């Protein structure tokens, strides 16, 4: 059962400009330490941040809230499995919202995909409720 779907598009050049203008203030407000470490290791630093920005926006939409209802940017975090597959983890208010959306006897699975084609980064998030075996 699908609980929510969200998609977002981010302009990589805009994110690069924001990084140049605000630096650590922007990084520390929006991205977790894991996300920052991943981005700073990559050749395309701005593109990596832009994809994660888009994923957070898409996740907030899939949760049915956008960022207006108390979700913090850091309540949503993108990391990667060893295979490179991106995964989304939620904490705080985002986790509370996810738990409230999930029907009894089900577990919530957040699927996320990221892509970029300069100057755009895009993310797509689907939240699935899977019956607990």
Question: What domains does the chain contain, in order, with CATH numbers?
Answer: 2-131 (3.90.470.20)
Q: Is the peptide bond before 119 cis (omega within 30 degrees of 0)?
A: yes
> What is the pLDDT, as a whole number, of residue 71?
78
Q: Which two three-digit tokens encode residue 88?
A: 């989304």
Q: What stretches in the chain show pLDDT beneath 50?
A: none
Q: Contact 10/53 with Cβ under 8 angstroms?
A: yes
> What is the pLDDT, as a whole number, of residue 133?
85
> What is the pLDDT, as a whole number, of residue 72?
87
CA distance 28 to 61: 22
CA distance 63 to 97: 7
Tens of pLDDT, residues 95-132 = 999 999 999 999 999 999 999 999 999 999 999 999 99
């Amino acid at each position: 059962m699908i609980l929510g779907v969200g998609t977002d598009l981010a302009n990589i050049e805009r994110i690069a400009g924001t990084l140049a203008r605000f630096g650590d203030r922007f990084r520390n407000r929006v991205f977790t330490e894991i996300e920052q470490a991943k981005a700073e290791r990559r050749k395309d630093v701005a593109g990596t941040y832009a994809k994660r920005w888009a994923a957070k926006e898409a996740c907030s939409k899939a949760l049915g809230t956008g960022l207006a209802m108390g979700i913090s940017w850091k309540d949503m975090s993108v990391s990667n499995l060893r295979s490179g597959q991106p995964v989304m983890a939620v904490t705080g208010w985002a986790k509370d919202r996810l738990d409230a959306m999930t029907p009894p006897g089900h577990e919530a699975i957040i699927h996320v995909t990221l892509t970029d084609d300069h100057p755009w980064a895009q993310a797509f998030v689907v939240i699935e409720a899977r019956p607990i075996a």
